[in-house]
């Protein structure tokens, strides 16, 4: 098992990851991203509501708005723009999958750090005296990191579907629009149209089919502001509630990272550079 893991996570991946990380560390957009999170988080906590609890609702909105769209666009653009270097790396005696995984992880880690730094710093600066809701905030940070990984992995997959930047960006925006709003609108439509039937399993499945929904539901259920969720039905409440729900939801998010990654590798392995 350990040997296997070492095989998969080999030296090449670590090296590519490292350099990808340094590369993005110096990217001004990654810096702006961090700054944007810092400023918005700070403003939300300072002026967003009388109590830190109210802030955590707004912070959730901020995370599910910014993290997916930025990870998608930044990830896909970065992939396309460094295709030249990937060709050069592929000319060395290394596996393509190692290059792909290394780059994906390196980019995800840089975006996660940037996010953590921006939001975390603002939280430390403005919430240091009240640890109420700290658990929620930490979970929000963890979910933000997971969303970064998920959507970078998605961005790479999409960037492998076409050689044309415009087409890739079109795909990226479509996917984002779908996950951000369309999916929920469909859910809303389904519930309103078929509300007379038992829908709990359907709703449960549908929310698991959207990584943004997954993180939103996990955090909402564990916020102190979650009393409403009881109305959604015992099944959903029990499924995502409690420590078990956090583990379950986060495992699903891991799947949402792994699946696009594996499909992406498969396409990349056959791609003409």
User: CA-CA distance, 106 to 119, in Å (whole number)?
Assistant: 20
Helices 211-222, 52-81: axis angle to 10 degrees equals 160
List 35, 135, 170, 230, residue binding other proteins (CB under 8 A): 230
Instruction: Restricting to residues 254-273, name those near other proteins by CB under 8 A.
Output: 270, 272-273
The verdict on 207 binding other proteins (CB under 8 A) reads: yes
Contact letters for other proteins, residues 124-163 (x by CB under 8 A): ----------------------------------------
The verdict on 174 binding other proteins (CB under 8 A) reads: no
List 6, 46, 87, 131, residue binding other proteins (CB under 8 A): 87
Biggest alpha carbon–alpha carbon distance for the chain: 61
The verdict on 242 binding other proteins (CB under 8 A) reads: no
Q: Stretches 134-142, 168-176, 230-238, 260-268: which one binds other proteins (CB under 8 A)? A: 230-238
The verdict on 231 binding other proteins (CB under 8 A) reads: yes
Q: Stretches 38-46, 52-60, 151-159, 254-262: which one binds other proteins (CB under 8 A)? A: 52-60
The length of the chain is 273
> Which residues contribute to the site for other proteins (CB under 8 A)?
12, 15-16, 19-20, 22-24, 26-27, 49-51, 53-54, 57, 60-61, 64-65, 81-85, 87-95, 180-181, 184-185, 187-188, 191-192, 195, 199-200, 203, 207, 213, 216-217, 220, 224-225, 227-234, 236-237, 270, 272-273
């Amino acid at each position: 098992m350990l040997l296997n893991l070492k095989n998969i996570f080999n030296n090449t991946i670590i090296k590519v990851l490292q350099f990808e990380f340094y590369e993005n560390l110096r990217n001004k957009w990654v810096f702006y991203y961090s700054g944007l999170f810092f400023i918005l988080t700070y403003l939300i906590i300072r002026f967003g509501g009388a109590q830190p609890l109210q802030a955590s609702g707004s912070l959730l909105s901020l995370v599910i708005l910014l993290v997916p769209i930025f990870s998608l666009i930044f990830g896909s653009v970065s992939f396309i723009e460094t295709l030249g270097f990937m060709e050069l790396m592929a000319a060395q005696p290394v596996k393509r999958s190692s290059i792909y995984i290394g780059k994906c992880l390196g980019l995800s880690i840089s975006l996660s750090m940037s996010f953590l730094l921006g939001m975390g710093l603002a939280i430390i600066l403005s919430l240091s005296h009240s640890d109420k809701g700290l658990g929620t905030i930490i979970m929000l940070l963890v979910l933000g990191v997971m969303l970064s990984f998920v959507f970078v992995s998605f961005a790479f997959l999409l960037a492998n579907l076409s050689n044309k930047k415009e087409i890739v960006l079109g795909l990226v925006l479509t996917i984002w629009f779908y996950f951000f709003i369309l999916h929920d609108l469909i859910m809303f439509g389904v519930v309103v149209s078929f509300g007379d039937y038992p829908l709990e399993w359907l709703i449960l499945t549908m929310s698991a089919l959207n990584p943004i929904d997954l993180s939103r539901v996990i955090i909402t259920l564990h916020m102190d502001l979650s009393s409403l969720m009881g109305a959604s039905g015992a099944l959903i409440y029990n499924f995502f509630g409690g420590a078990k729900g956090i583990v379950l939801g986060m495992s699903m998010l891991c799947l949402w990272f792994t699946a696009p990654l594996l499909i992406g590798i498969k396409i990349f392995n056959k791609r003409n550079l």
